[in-house]
Structure 1
Amino acid sequence: MISRSVSKNTSSVSFPEPQDIITFLRKANSSVGKRDIARAFGIVGTNRSTLKTLLSEMEGEGLIIRAQNRRYSIATGVPPVGIVEAHSIDENGELVGKAIGWKANSGNSRIIILSSQKNSKHQTLAVGDRALVRLKATSNMEIEARIMKRLQERSGTIIGVVKKTEHNAEIRSVDRRGPQDIYTEDISEHNIEDGDIVLTRLEGKKVYGRPQATIEKVLGKIGKPGAIEIIVCASHDIPEEFSKESKAEALVAGPPNPKGREDLTTIPLVTIDDEDARDFDDAVWAEPDKSQENSGGWNLITAIADVSSYVKAGQALDKEAQKRGNSVYLPSKVIPMLPESLSNEWCSLKPNETRACIAVRVCVSKTGEIKHYRFIRGIMRSVARLTYREVDAYKRGGSPPPTKTIGDQIKNLYGAYEALRHARINRNTLDFDLPEKRIVFGRSGEVTSIETRPHYDSHRLIEEFMITANVAAAEVLNKANAPCMYRIHDQPPLDKSETLRAYLKGLGYKLSRSRQLRPQHFQQILEKSKGTKHEEAISLMILRSQSQAEYNPKNTGHFGLNIDRYSHFTSPIRRYSDLLVHRSLIAQLNLGNDGLPEAVAQQFPELGAHLSQTERRAVNAERNAVDRYKTLFMANKIGAKFVGKVSSVTRFGLFILLDDSGADGLIPIRHIGQQLGERIQYDSSRQALIAQQADKNYGLGDAISVRLETADCVTGGLIFSLSDFDSPDISRQRRKPFRRRRLRR
């Protein structure tokens, strides 16, 4: 029960009730300090100590939260104890859980699972495990779940790799947090061999203290070409095979019927893609606007493959595409959303072939502002399939364009791009320039090198054309109050902003304390850090502080692009969200009788959540595959020394990103402790590990020399140590070989 004593000297001011403070915090929309609360309620003098007591009592009863910066916010309604299931591992290596049988008030809260402070060694969880946890809301967007008791093993499926023994087999999970010593005697029926990748089912019981499983299916062989794709697709539940019905529907597709379509075949549209692209779903064109009222302005056309004319709502192809949500792009394989007979043929805007399209003609001013636009359902014929590298070379004069028409068009495209770029600068968008690595394969499928992917102005040109088309689609549907699957991106969560602010302060940078953070607040820091040793680390921290973009029929704007209304319209071959937007445009603009059905429009909230989930699944799978290929590339380099940077700092160690290959791995905190001979401290505010006796700090962005200790091709993990010191003794951390116990008879 909350009680307080108010000084009579200030009786003219009514002291707030707990509900008054909760209402004030809710209206604030961000955390506030005690001084702000006192000022809001006119609390002065000795009653400030009474307010402090009241706030402490409210915090103790779980009504409000006090963050590390001593600022208060509304509690998320988290019970003190609950059950969580380990769900995934995020980009920082933290184990993320989902609530079982309870729910926080904020549906967006992330649950971070931590081991018990008293018994951390024996209370780690693998993905899929459940535990009884002590819950604490550390902010409105994050809940700390500290393990009290690991719950009984549950049955389920595990993807693993076989290691045969004399009479049975051991199976190692491909998930680094999964069980690494699964026992099975089920080896004869499937003719199991060493290195087989298998789908197993845990039986919910243990043999000799180890989980037991039966083998359901042999999926492939570790080390063989395609093994990584097999592991990734199976681990992330990514469907590879299309249903017979959907393939049959795709096979009957044919040339578009020009009836009722606007003829764009005389317009010299071009596609611009990567060298290895196989599907071309967008084409662009531009010319100067001849209108005197728009001097210096431009007319643009962005034409998109008309997937909706081949994929009909409710049919087998549509159901398959909806289930997949999006295509998945792995380093050596694409798992398409649509069968290749569509995605690489009739829905691909190949040069000199007639294709169905939905296009938008946009008129922009010389400063890139949209003057007006018109959507078209038409037929087109691309005049050239160009690559980013080629277009950049033509622009710089490195090589001549193949024809004058293409040369003139490239000149116009860059002219329009300059106008759109001007608008982007004026919008104060958030722009990251982080290097991206590309896996290079040999003829036999082996990894020959890892290269930095070049980024040209031609990439930015296409990006701006696509953004402009996406904005036009969202605007026309919004004005008509028609269903739209918006692409929304909220401003950064409060807790992440506070963590970022503390980190930047330690480096001498100041992030605005404005209640309404804007993209320019972050962009200013990115600009100031350019050319400094902390440039990449600051970019990473700012990127990690941002919210995840998602799909939602309820529009809240796009924070990163600083756009009020935004959708995805330009890639219906590979994103189902875009197909929904196409159908809504068709229905609203009377472009055909195959528009969005009303029943589907009613399902937009559920579809938005589903598509956001499949997108995250694809991103995680793509990252997992790249990491595994990097590990494969590093596997023959054990003991070698490398130079890299600290890319992330966690409670359990340093993540290191190597300069040359872009491979990343972990230096466990226990390794650092062994090498330096002392207990290492984790400082979350400084994003650093501290060795006080050795007077060494390892912080985000620091250059570091490391030695590769292990490269695990089963789990895809790399383990490093500090190269300036002797290697740690890692033998005691490895599981002892299993020996069959003699049974007493």
Structure 2
Amino acid sequence: MKRPLKVLEGSVKRHPDGFGFLIPDHPDEPDVYIPRHNMDGIMSNDRVEVNVTKEKGGDRFRGEVTRVISRSLKRVMGQFIEHRPGYGTLFDKSFGWGADLKVEVSQGLQVKDKDWVAAEILTYPDSSKGFTGKVIALIGDMQDPQNDSLRALHTHAIPFEFSKATLAETDKFEDEVDPKKFSDRRDLTSINLITIDGVTAKDFDDAIYVESTREGFRLVVAIADVSHYVKEGTSLDDEALERGNSTYFPNFVAPMLPEKLSNGLCSLKPHVYRAAFVADMNLGFDGALVKSEFYEALIQSKARVTYGEAQEVIDGSTPEKIKHVEKEILQAKDLAKILMAKRFREGALDLDLPETEIELDEAGFPVDILQSERLFSHRLIEEMMLTANVAVAKFFGEKQIEALYRIHDEPKGEAIENLQNYLNAFGYNQNVKAGALQKKLSKALEHFQGHPKETIVSTLVLRSLAQAKYSADNVGHFGLAFEDYTHFTSPIRRYSDLVVHRLMKAILYPKKGYRLLGQGELDTLGTMLSACEQRSVKAERQVKAIKKARFMAKFIGEQFEGIVTSVAKFGVFVQLRQYDVDGLIKLDLLGPGRYEFDPELLILVERRTKETIEIGQTMKIQVVRVDIEAGQVDFMPVRSQLEKGSSEGPETEEDGRFENTQVGFKGPKGKDLFGVRQYVSKGSAEGKKSGRKRGGKKSESSHKGHSKNKSNKKHRSSSKNRDGAGKKRVSRSRK
């Protein structure tokens, strides 16, 4: 090989045909093509070192893998194909391994041919022993919906069982807090701290207290003091770090901490003593942070308030059982309005997209998929958490210590160029590409408020943004328009927040054994915890997609109204109005003609009739296939709507085109490439219009008059997305 131009490190993506591409660690470096013969033994997402040369007569770079830095997979999941008792193969159906895995069944496991299993990799494809492993867990029947969450956990190698050592450490803790043992802490048990969470929440990370002052407001945010219990060097800490965060599925949680801590000793339950770490802040009437103080405290929450109940207080109908904290909730409402207005003035993006709630029966089957309610009470608690996170980040800056920040880079040129094209196609011709990008994007979002394309535009803006991540390099948070931002408020479910607590205590309480971390350690933690977060996001999306496919299976052959949410070379995505489930219509199913993609106008054009398909267009579709294993739903258009003016009549089953769809097809694995979310509302099995429709943007006043039951509806993840970790305003994966 020629002398290399450079040596790069990064992760590899393996193509089904055997060649690959290096995605360099440094974002300014272009992707590097790796030929098939040099991919032997290399698996998708492995971290490698590559010698890079430039190809003759072109601009493409070619690479040669010189060493594997680290393997991405330690465990895999697949269908066990038995060769003889106790031995078999897991076939590389994803084409990401580069070889089939030969496995031996661990003693004590009763595994049958074609069972789904999890296997630990013993040797990799480049080993002289070949690609070998050991079956360590039986997942069972993939058709059983009870196994959906288990499958996702194994697929993404997310730990969900705690070791005996960790459970033994946890058992040593007392069941309740003895206030006598916390006499050195500030006593806040007399003030009206409250928690505001979802109906199903059990892990209460945070409690708030707001009071008016002569200068503005006092905001107290009391956070579960996890660092008091989870110490470095323990098995409990090691397993929390390995998980990185809790992972949430419908009706199931894989927690970061054992239940005795997450739902018990650390959870800020009402009317019991709890150890807390407090951010005590003074703010002006304009929402500006004037002063902040941080300290360990002993607290006692005075009420466990649900989002629905808090909304009733805001709307003037306070439930009797929380009358004693009505004043605090109303003061929190006033402060939240000021803080929101301040953020949006300063350029924060208002992408307050709805979420989906999937209701399951006891067997794990989806019985309903509905759009969760976004109340002002959700925003209220989010504003309190955002303020505390900013105050802590500023504390680090003032003390000039290395810390772990939550950062969000400004979007790159190509992403904004694509967004500009979409906005132009929607008739918005203002330039968003140059200067003051935050405010220009905010102005574009304002332009489409109340417009039929509002949700689509918000989604497209969201997809143009970079992913938020953890880093020791404080570059600010673009989406929230904060110069300083970290995660402080959820240490029960995020290890990053536990790190932040320890760093703060190393400064505030130098004799308690906490330590500061160097930039190298923090960089490693940032990379690892960002990866753990994305791992959970992918697993959560997988389970939601599988559940939605299970739900839509009963509608095969039925027709629904929908709206085109994405247009691509391979087809279009359509989101149903009634159930807010999206599906793919493959290009060759769009009609009898030939459709071509126009990259400038971002539409599909039929060559002969010049019929067009564009984002925002309504379309009547028929459900033709679901793939539960892949979590995909496939549609085809009801043909008459695309053939108006054509000499052909509507397509029938007899003309052969529909017949071809009966065996179905799998959409591309990059099905979510355009970020089409699945917002789902109620509706009948017959597809009637009795279901709840998506409306325009909700204001605070639009929530008034909601019934109590309706107000209390919420997605399980709403409580965990409250403070910018990834709440949907800028996206859970991007916040």
TM-score (norm 2): 0.75
- Could you tell me whether the CA contact under 8 Å between 2:6 and 2:53 is conserved in 1? yes
Match of 2:460 among 541, 553, 565: 541
Matched, 1:250 2:202: no
1:511, distance to aligned residue in structure 2 (A): 4.4
* Alignment partner, residue 233 of structure 1: 153
- Could you tell me whether the CA contact under 8 Å between 2:448 and 2:454 is conserved in 1? yes
* Alignment partner, residue 274 of structure 1: 198
1:226, distance to aligned residue in structure 2 (A): 2.7
Which secondary structure state, in structure 2, belongs to the residue aligned with residue 226 of structure 1? helix
CA deviations on 1:400-455 (whole Å, 9 max, x unpaired) are 34143222222222122222223223322101132211001123332110010111
* Alignment partner, residue 658 of structure 2: 727
Distance verdict in 2 for CA 1:188–1:668, change over 3 Å:
farther
Distance verdict in 2 for CA 1:494–1:308, change over 3 Å:
same
**Alignment map for 1:504-515 (pairs within 5 Å):** 504-512=423-431, 515=434
Gap runs ≥5 in structure 2 = 37-41, 65-71, 126-130, 640-650, 652-656, 667-735
Distance verdict in 2 for CA 1:699–1:516, change over 3 Å:
same
How far apart, CA to CA, are the structure 1 residues paired with 2:342 and 2:73? 55
Please, which moves more after superposition, 500-509 or 263-272?
500-509
- Counterpart residue identity of residue 190, structure 2: T
Match of 1:435 among 329, 342, 354: 354
1:717, distance to aligned residue in structure 2 (A): 1.8
- Could you tell me whether the CA contact under 8 Å between 1:168 and 1:184 is conserved in 2? no
- Could you tell me whether the CA contact under 8 Å between 1:707 and 1:723 is conserved in 2? yes
- Counterpart residue identity of residue 242, structure 1: F
* Alignment partner, residue 493 of structure 2: 574
Distance verdict in 2 for CA 1:346–1:698, change over 3 Å:
same
How far apart, CA to CA, are the structure 1 residues paired with 2:576 and 2:585? 12
Matched, 1:669 2:587: yes
1:482, distance to aligned residue in structure 2 (A): 1.5
- CA RMSD after TM alignment: 4.3
Which secondary structure state, in structure 2, belongs to the residue aligned with residue 655 of structure 1? strand
Please, which moves more after superposition, 479-488 or 526-535?
526-535
Matched, 1:413 2:413: no
Matched, 1:649 2:567: yes
How far apart, CA to CA, are the structure 2 residues paired with 1:88 and 1:405? 62
- Could you tell me whether the CA contact under 8 Å between 1:169 and 1:187 is conserved in 2? yes
- Could you tell me whether the CA contact under 8 Å between 2:503 and 2:516 is conserved in 1? no
Distance verdict in 2 for CA 1:361–1:393, change over 3 Å:
same
Which secondary structure state, in structure 2, belongs to the residue aligned with residue 475 of structure 1? helix
- Could you tell me whether the CA contact under 8 Å between 1:232 and 1:625 is conserved in 2? yes
Distance verdict in 2 for CA 1:692–1:402, change over 3 Å:
same
How far apart, CA to CA, are the structure 2 residues paired with 1:155 and 1:317? 23
**Alignment map for 1:205-604 (pairs within 5 Å):** 217-254=137-174, 255=177, 257-289=181-213, 291=214, 294=215, 297-512=216-431, 515-590=434-509, 593-595=512-514, 597-598=515-516, 602-604=520-522
Matched, 1:713 2:628: yes
How far apart, CA to CA, are the structure 1 residues paired with 2:589 and 2:363? 37
1:518, distance to aligned residue in structure 2 (A): 2.7
How far apart, CA to CA, are the structure 2 residues paired with 1:171 and 1:670? 36
Please, which moves more after superposition, 232-241 or 530-539?
530-539
* Alignment partner, residue 535 of structure 2: 617
1:236, distance to aligned residue in structure 2 (A): 0.8
Matched, 1:658 2:582: no
- Counterpart residue identity of residue 27, structure 2: G
How far apart, CA to CA, are the structure 2 residues paired with 1:428 and 1:234? 41
1:344, distance to aligned residue in structure 2 (A): 0.7
Which secondary structure state, in structure 2, belongs to the residue aligned with residue 708 of structure 1? strand
* Alignment partner, residue 703 of structure 2: none
How far apart, CA to CA, are the structure 2 residues paired with 1:473 and 1:303? 13
* Alignment partner, residue 57 of structure 1: none
How far apart, CA to CA, are the structure 2 residues paired with 1:155 and 1:299? 49
- Could you tell me whether the CA contact under 8 Å between 1:302 and 1:359 is conserved in 2? yes
1:389, distance to aligned residue in structure 2 (A): 0.8
* Alignment partner, residue 71 of structure 1: none
1:465, distance to aligned residue in structure 2 (A): 0.2
- Could you tell me whether the CA contact under 8 Å between 2:76 and 2:120 is conserved in 1? yes
How far apart, CA to CA, are the structure 2 residues paired with 1:184 and 1:582? 45
CA deviations on 1:17-50 (whole Å, 9 max, x unpaired) are xxxxxxxxxxxxxxxxxxxxxxxxxxxxxxxxxx
Match of 1:630 among 548, 555, 579: 548
How far apart, CA to CA, are the structure 2 residues paired with 1:444 and 1:564? 47
Which secondary structure state, in structure 1, belongs to the residue aligned with residue 267 of structure 2? coil
1:707, distance to aligned residue in structure 2 (A): 1.8
Which secondary structure state, in structure 1, belongs to the residue aligned with residue 182 of structure 2? coil
Distance verdict in 2 for CA 1:78–1:648, change over 3 Å:
farther
* Alignment partner, residue 606 of structure 1: 524
Larger Rg: 1
1:722, distance to aligned residue in structure 2 (A): 1.8
1:706, distance to aligned residue in structure 2 (A): 2.0
Distance verdict in 2 for CA 1:112–1:706, change over 3 Å:
farther
1:664, distance to aligned residue in structure 2 (A): 2.4
Distance verdict in 2 for CA 1:543–1:155, change over 3 Å:
closer
- Could you tell me whether the CA contact under 8 Å between 1:170 and 1:181 is conserved in 2? no
* Alignment partner, residue 16 of structure 1: none
Gap runs ≥5 in structure 1 = 1-76, 90-94, 117-124, 138-142, 149-153, 206-210, 736-745
1:368, distance to aligned residue in structure 2 (A): 0.9
* Alignment partner, residue 38 of structure 1: none
How far apart, CA to CA, are the structure 1 residues paired with 2:355 and 2:92? 25
Higher RCO, Cα 8 Å, sep 6+: 2
1:690, distance to aligned residue in structure 2 (A): 2.8
How far apart, CA to CA, are the structure 1 residues paired with 2:413 and 2:335? 38
1:519, distance to aligned residue in structure 2 (A): 1.6
How far apart, CA to CA, are the structure 2 residues paired with 1:471 and 1:188? 50
How far apart, CA to CA, are the structure 1 residues paired with 2:553 and 2:457? 30
Distance verdict in 2 for CA 1:390–1:598, change over 3 Å:
closer
1:655, distance to aligned residue in structure 2 (A): 2.6
- Could you tell me whether the CA contact under 8 Å between 1:113 and 1:145 is conserved in 2? yes
TM-score (norm 1): 0.74
1:267, distance to aligned residue in structure 2 (A): 0.6
CA deviations on 1:294-346 (whole Å, 9 max, x unpaired) are 2xx11111100001000112222111111211111111211111111111111
Distance verdict in 2 for CA 1:144–1:487, change over 3 Å:
farther
How far apart, CA to CA, are the structure 1 residues paired with 2:555 and 2:258? 40
- Could you tell me whether the CA contact under 8 Å between 2:408 and 2:466 is conserved in 1? yes
Which secondary structure state, in structure 1, belongs to the residue aligned with residue 555 of structure 2? coil
Match of 2:22 among 99, 103, 114: 99
Distance verdict in 2 for CA 1:308–1:144, change over 3 Å:
farther
Identical-pair percentage: 32
- Counterpart residue identity of residue 367, structure 2: T
